């Protein structure tokens, strides 16, 4: 998600006062009558300084997405990563400061115009003092918005026109490998848990339709209250993005997780999300026999495939089933243009 540049209070003040000095220099070199020129110089300084600051604040307010206008997935994602309440509070503080600076501009330029040249200088200094005070007052909020910019810059780009398939399962069961084999994505793959630190996304087209495959971080069978940020992102993807869920089992248990626990997580996902599911028993080349697969297959009503890292023969069948299941979904184009990520304010 692209957020506007968030300058520090010192950067805002320095820029505003430097521009104000340059604007005053132009007035100083003009041919205005001396009795008028003094007042005009101070008025221009206040006016220019306030214009620069209001332009900066307005850029932040307009360029920062409004939470309520985003798809639910993005709302949850932002809440998980930075916190929606603080996000709204900080944006509200900038909006408040924008309004106050406009009031200062109107009030003090009017006072300067009604004063004499000697009185104009202390009035301008008073205005500058209030300007600095207001900008400094929202320093923490500006700092937080800058933190949001850094943390949300890699927020996943979801295509709401595509049929979306979310890959789920315990860590190290082969989710990233499946994503790499089905799509053009090249996720980081390694033989240790939680290799996937965020959502990995791949895309492909089949029969004039777009498909987006989303690899989620490995989930563990535990309460949401005990989940870390990585796992919560996976939950958000399952809840809001998946038209279809591919759940991967590792019957070899080389991932370090027992099949009974993997099945419990599968059953929980199926109960909570009520989304069409495809089940993959992966790493079958590491099994001496298929008895464990037969045991758990009897508990599963969803389509089942057997796969291994060295055998990609089922990939085309999996993609065909995704296409078949995806026939019932229509694009959610109400969000497509919105992933700019917002409507302009009026």
pLDDT for 109 beyond 80? yes
60-85 confidence digits (pLDDT tens): 999 998 888 888 888 888 888 888 99
Tens digits of residue pLDDT in 220-279? 545 555 655 556 666 666 777 778 989 999 999 988 889 998 998 888 888 877 788 899
Q: Check residue 158 and give its pLDDT.
A: 81
Q: What is the pTM of this model?
A: 0.73
Confidence of residue 288 (pLDDT cuts 50, 70, 90): confident
pLDDT score, position 33: 65
Mean pLDDT value across residues 311-339: 69
What pLDDT sits at residue 331?
A: 57
Give dist(CA 218, CA 198) in Å, integer: 10
């Amino acid at each position: 998600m692209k957020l506007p540049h968030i300058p520090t209070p010192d950067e805002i003040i320095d820029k505003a006062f430097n521009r104000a000095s340059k604007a005053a220099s132009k007035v100083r070199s003009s041919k205005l009558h001396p009795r008028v020129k003094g007042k005009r110089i101070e008025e221009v300084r206040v006016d220019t300084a306030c214009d620069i600051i209001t332009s900066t604040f307005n850029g932040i307010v307009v360029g920062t997405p409004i939470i309520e206008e985003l798809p639910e997935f993005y709302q949850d994602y932002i809440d998980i990563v930075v916190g929606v309440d603080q996000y709204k509070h900080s944006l509200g503080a900038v909006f408040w400061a924008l309004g106050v600076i406009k009031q200062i501009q109107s009030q003090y330029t009017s006072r300067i115009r009604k004063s004499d040249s000697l009185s104009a200088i202390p009035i301008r200094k008073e205005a500058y003092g209030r300007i600095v005070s207001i900008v400094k007052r929202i320093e923490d909020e500006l700092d937080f918005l800058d933190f949001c910019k850094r943390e949300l810059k890699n927020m996943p780009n979801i295509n709401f026109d595509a049929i979306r398939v979310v890959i789920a399962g315990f860590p190290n069961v082969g989710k990233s490998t499946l994503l790499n084999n089905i799509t053009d994505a090249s996720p980081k793959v390694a033989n240790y848990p939680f290799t996937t630190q965020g959502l990995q996304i791949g895309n492909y087209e089949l029969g004039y339709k777009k498909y987006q495959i989303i690899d989620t971080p490995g989930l563990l069978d535990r309460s949401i209250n005990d989940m870390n940020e990585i796992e919560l992102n996976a939950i958000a993807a399952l809840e809001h993005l998946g038209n279809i869920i591919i759940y991967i089992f590792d019957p070899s248990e080389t991932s370090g997780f027992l099949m009974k626990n993997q099945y419990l997580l599968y059953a929980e996902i199926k109960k909570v999300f009520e989304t069409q599911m495809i089940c993959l028993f992966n790493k079958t080349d590491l099994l001496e026999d298929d008895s464990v697969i037969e045991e758990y297959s009897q508990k599963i009503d969803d389509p089942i495939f057997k796969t291994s890292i060295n055998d990609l023969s089922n990939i085309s069948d999996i993609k065909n089933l995704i296409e078949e299941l995806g026939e019932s979904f229509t694009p959610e184009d109400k969000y497509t243009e919105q992933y700019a990520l917002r409507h302009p304010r009026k």
